[in-house]
Amino acid sequence: MNVKNTALKKQGERRNGRNVDVLTIYFYPNKNYAIARAAMAEEIKIYDLIIIGGGPAGITAGIYAARAGLKTLLITKNFGGQINLKAVEIENYPGFEKISGLEFIQKLEHHLKKFAIEIIYNIVEKVKKENDIFIIFTEDKKQFQSKTLIIASGAEPRSLGVKGEKEFIGKGVSYCVTCDGPLFKDKTVAIIGGGNAGFEAALALAKWAKKIYILETLKTIQADKVNINQFEKLGAKGEIITNVEIKEIKGSNFVDSLVYQKRDTEEIKTLFVEGIFIEIGSIPATQFVKDLVEFNEKNEIKVNPKSGETSIAGLFAAGDVDDMPYKQIVIAAGEGAKAALSAAKYLKTLNPKS
């Protein structure tokens, strides 16, 4: 047998009166060639589509893929993505005047599970493409294969990168008001970040904390007017400090202070707080494809805006991982739908008679 320099070789054969996909796998342990053959497609399943991510983009992609009749697998560590960290109600998604993030995701998940789609709760560590097949490696060392792939893995909270931050995670430093807010009842807290996320976190904390500071690095606040107005209603309980640079987080066993510098006067000041919530944006969760697709300067995956396709044929991205502007729930859902429809169209080019 002629052994080729490849790990996978897929071909069609006719067996027992029907066409099946046969996958030949070549293993090279210790440079001594040994060949193992997987005889039937049922033994090595190749999906039409694998979706990575369980937020609005991934869930919507799953719904559209199932409706298109694609053999689909969705891999996610949980459903909800960043919405699980959202502290206040969602008020800008059509059809819902006001709905909590938890209830919203539960509705999406329930809708998805109405369809014939496989779901695996896991974390993807790496993706590669061999012989037009995508191979997905998960944290528990399993492998899954697919003809097309949608990356909808969302984003992760961005860290400050200052002294004391890592040391006090779980000891006063948090990135999730929904998770940790109740722990700061009757305490003084600081929120780093003057965008919508920061103000929404502050409004959620208002039911517990006795004093809330919002610190913003820019001279002006970037949040929507409606959020600013709501925060101002807190009166003396809330205070905004702008044009600062965070220098250090201090404490002994737990956080007890925050050191910052005023940019205009260069004065160093200390704010005595018992909790610090960091709300300065997020970083796309794209580490597992870092050597596969093209990225922009923000580490977002570059996509064709018409299709959601990346620099790799058959690989699509949707939601907060891609380089499209306006990171909104409704936009992520729309991008998920677009990516699934584009994947279905791409699959027809692989098998024009289908």
What positions carry a catalytic annotation?
176, 179-180
Q: Please report which helix (H) or strand (E) contains residue 154, including its range.
A: none
C-alpha span between 233 and 241 (Å, rounded): 17
Report DSSP letters for 113-131, one per residue.
Answer: TTSS-EEEE--EEEEEEET
With beta carbons less than 8 A apart as the criterion, state whether 255 and 168 touch.
yes
C-alpha span between 76 and 53 (Å, rounded): 5
Please give the single-letter amino acid code of residue 17: G
Query: Under 8 Å CB-to-CB from 58, ≥6 apart: which residues?
Result: 51, 52, 74, 76, 81, 150, 152, 153, 318, 319, 336
With beta carbons less than 8 A apart as the criterion, state whether 291 and 129 touch.
no
C-alpha span between 76 and 62 (Å, rounded): 12
* Residue 169, beta-bridge partner list: 173
C-alpha span between 342 and 324 (Å, rounded): 16
State the DSSP code for 84.
Answer: G
Beta strands 143-151 and 46-52 are: parallel
C-alpha span between 354 and 347 (Å, rounded): 9
With beta carbons less than 8 A apart as the criterion, state whether 210 and 187 touch.
yes
Q: Please report which helix (H) or strand (E) contains residue 292, including its range.
A: none
C-alpha span between 260 and 4 (Å, rounded): 61
